[in-house]
């Protein structure tokens, strides 16, 4: 790994002025970010501007300490319930190998979603029994790699299953597989999905295999049952588990060595400190769309809501940036839900089945931020300012309409070519793609102390999906660099995933 020269952690402008790190930029209305201490400290040191200067803009900064804390909280909850339990980190949520390394060292598993992700995890000596492959589309080469290396395959459909049988026969090996299920009954409706075998089709399929094609089964070790649901609903997970327990019993009675139940990811997290701010934002945004309040978003963008004949239709197309319960508490809620004569945990314990999960985003809570340099400020005829950053919208984006978390502004330490804007301006962050829609944040932001060229804008808590999920090289812009920061040593080094890119 290339080492980036660290600077001493000297006090910086925020310390000099006594202003808090949040005071330079707030949303209109504010959505105050939860800030990990390491992020707040780094934003007030001289290290960050030097890193940004050296590595270019934008820059992703990562830290694995919160990752360990977040995972440990899950293990603690499961252990308190007396369960055999393992976390398989869904690494598609962040490409950096620092998290794979931490998972390996701490004995967590890794969930891989492509042949590249899998190959890197194998290259980094993660034991194959600690790897699952849940790729949505699996090439022959990927299936072959899984079988050869002993990685468990989460099987999605019959074509995949039959290809695995043929490849395993060719390789003279047995494939470890988990069947992915969907179509659970929940509150009188079915949870339909593009993924997995339908719960109603799996029993006849297994019977068929046992009766008509028993030779197929000698190439398969069916060791697990798997689901991953859209959304963040606890009760849906409870329904899914309840409906899979009888299937597990039946598979075991048919001599399949089912060892684990994998409940996938989608563990919720919060990005914001205040539920009140979140509720107030949405109430006021609705009023703005109805014309009863000044707009909070660029050209009154609906964020998923549309005004039709005087009423708002649709639902917010945004992550629930504030929610409760989250993470380990959310898991505990599932495990203590009623099931059979006791709780879900009782039912799992009684069956001596290992519980597995595959969180991505929520394990990365607090593990990273994205910093970008201000290159221009310009005032629109409307009076609003546009703040141009060396960054494009794919570098802090998911399928969500907007990143509803207030960025931080870190004033430049060096004198720039042009003076700062006046204090108290407000406006929008715009990015480097040549489209009218290229906004980095749709929300209007306020800058009480103005904005200068060379200031840094920091998007907090972007490690889960935001920094990597949609990044693109349109316009031939290079991808952002990723540095891993160790707040014990103040060292920052480039993540080793760079060697694969
Ligand atoms: C994406 C994905 C995950 C991780 O989901 P998060 O919302 O990041 O926790 C886990 N399992 C599967 C199969 C996935 O596709």
For 258-303, write each residue's pLDDT tens digit. Answer: 999 999 999 999 999 999 999 999 999 999 999 999 999 999 999 9
**Continuous segment of H or E residues that includes residue 148:** helix 140-149
| Ligand 1 centroid from CA 180, angstroms | 13
Position 9 scores a pLDDT of 38
Mean pLDDT for 359-382 is 98
Residue 182 sits at φ, ψ, to 5 deg, of -155, -175
Give distance in angstroms: CA of 230 to centre of ligand 1. 9
User: Would you say 164 and 171 are in contact if contact means Cβ atoms under 8 Å apart?
Assistant: no
Rounded-to-integer distance, Cα 500 and Cα 91, Å: 15
Q: Which CATH architecture describes the domain 2-63+366-500?
A: Beta Barrel (2.40)
User: Which atom of ligand 1 is found nearest the CA of 358?
Assistant: 10
How far does Cα 287 stand from its chain's mean position? 31
The token pair that represents 148 in the structure block: 């050869």
Q: Find the 221 Cα to ligand 1 centroid distance in Å.
A: 24
**Which token pair is 344?**
């879900």
- Tell me the average pLDDT across 186-206: 96
* Cβ < 6 A, ligand 1 pocket: 90, 92-93, 111, 134, 228, 264-267, 358-362
Local confidence band at 501 (pLDDT 50, 70, 90 cut-offs): confident
Which atom, in ligand 1's list, is nearest to the CA of 226? 13
Query: Which fold would CATH assign to domain 65-268+320-357?
Result: TIM Barrel (3.20.20)
Find, among 442, 446, 468, 476, the residue nearest to 92 by Cα. 468
Q: Which of 92, 118, 265 has most ligand 1 atoms within 8 Å of its beta carbon, as the pocket-test mutant?
A: 265
Atom of ligand 1 nearest to the CA of 363: 9
CA 201 to ligand 1 centroid distance, Å: 24
Please tell me the distance between residue 101's alpha carbon and the centre of ligand 1 in angstroms: 19
Q: Of all protein residues, whose CA lies closest to atom 8 belonging to ligand 1?
A: 360
Atom of ligand 1 nearest to the CA of 360: 8
Q: Which residues of 192-224 are buried (b: 16+ CB within 10 A; e: fewer)?
A: ebebbbebeebeeebeebeeeeeebbebbbbbb
Separation CA 457–CA 49 (nearest Å): 11
Percent of the chain with pLDDT over 70: 96
Cα dihedral value 109, 115, 116, 121, nearest 10: 20
Tokens of 496: 């080793």
How many residues can be counted in the chain? Answer: 501
Q: Is the peptide bond before 170 cis (omega within 30 degrees of 0)?
A: no
Mean pLDDT of the chain: 95
Helix (H, G, I), strand (E, B) or coil at 190: strand
Query: What's the pLDDT score for residue 414?
Result: 85
Q: Band of the pLDDT at 399, cuts 50, 70, 90?
A: confident
pLDDT band at 415 (very low <50, low <70, confident <90, very high): confident
Over residues 427-464, the pLDDT tens digits come to 999 999 999 989 999 999 999 999 999 999 999 999 99
3-class DSSP state for residue 144? helix
This prediction's pTM: 0.95
Give distance in angstroms: CA of 234 to centre of ligand 1: 15
User: Per-domain residue ranges for the chain?
Assistant: 2-63+366-500, 65-268+320-357, 275-314
- What pLDDT does residue 5 have? 42
Backbone torsions φ then ψ of 95, nearest 5 degrees: -85, -10
Q: Average pLDDT in the 96-112 region? A: 98
């Amino acid at each position: 790994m290339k080492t980036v020269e660290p600077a001493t952690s000297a006090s910086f402008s925020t310390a000099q002025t006594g202003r808090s790190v949040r005071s330079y930029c707030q949303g209109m209305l504010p959505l105050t970010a939860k800030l990990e201490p390491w992020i707040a400290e780094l934003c007030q040191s001289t290290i960050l501007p030097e890193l940004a200067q050296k590595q270019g803009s934008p820059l992703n900064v990562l830290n694995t300490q919160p990752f360990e804390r977040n995972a440990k909280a899950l293990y603690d909850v499961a252990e308190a319930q007396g369960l055999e339990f393992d976390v398989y980190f869904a690494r598609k949520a962040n490409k950096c190998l620092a998290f794979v390394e931490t998972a390996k060292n701490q004995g967590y598993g890794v969930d891989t979603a492509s042949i590249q992700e899998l190959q890197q995890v194998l290259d980094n000596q993660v034991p194959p029994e600690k790897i699952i492959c849940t790729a949505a589309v699996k090439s022959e080469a990927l299936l072959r790699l899984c079988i050869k290396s002993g990685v468990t395959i989460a099987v999605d459909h019959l074509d995949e299953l039959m290809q695995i049988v043929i490849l395993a026969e060719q390789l003279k090996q047995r494939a470890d597989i988990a069947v992915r299920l969907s179509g659970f009954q929940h509150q009188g409706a079915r949870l339909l999905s593009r993924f997995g075998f339908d719960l109603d089709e799996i029993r006849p399929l297994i019977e068929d295999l046992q009766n008509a094609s028993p030779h197929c089964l000698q190439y398969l070790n069916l060791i697990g049952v798997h689901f991953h649901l859209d959304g963040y609903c606890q009760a849906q997970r409870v329904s899914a588990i309840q409906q899979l327990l009888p299937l597990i019993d039946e598979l075991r009675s048919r001599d399949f060595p089912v060892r684990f139940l994998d409940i996938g990811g989608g563990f919720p997290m919060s990005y914001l400190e205040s539920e009140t701010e979140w509720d107030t934002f949405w109430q006021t945004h609705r009023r703005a769309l109805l014309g009863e309040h000044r707009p909070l978003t660029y050209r009154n963008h609906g964020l998923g809501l549309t005004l039709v004949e005087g009423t708002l239709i649709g639902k917010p197309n945004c992550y629930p940036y504030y929610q409760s319960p989250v993470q380990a508490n959310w898991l505990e809620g599932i495990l203590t839900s009623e099931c059979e004569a006791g709780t879900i945990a009782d039912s799992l314990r009684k069956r001596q089945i290992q519980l597995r999960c595959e969180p991505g985003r929520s394990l990365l809570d607090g593990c990273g931020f994205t910093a970008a340099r201000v290159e221009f400020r310009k005032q629109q005829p409307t009076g609003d300012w546009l703040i141009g950053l060396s960054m494009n919208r794919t570098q802090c984006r998911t399928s969500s309409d907007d990143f509803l978390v207030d960025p931080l502004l870190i004033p430049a330490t060096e004198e720039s070519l042009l003076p700062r804007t006046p204090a108290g301006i407000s406006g929008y962050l715009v990015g480097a793609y040549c489209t009218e829609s290229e906004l980095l944040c749709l929300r209007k932001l306020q800058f009480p102390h103005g904005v200068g060229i060379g200031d840094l804008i920091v998007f907090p808590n972007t490690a889960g999906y935001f920094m990597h999920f949609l990044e693109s090289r349109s316009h031939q812009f290079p991808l952002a660099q990723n540095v891993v920061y160790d707040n014990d040593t103040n060292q920052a080094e480039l993540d080793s995933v760079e060697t694969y890119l």
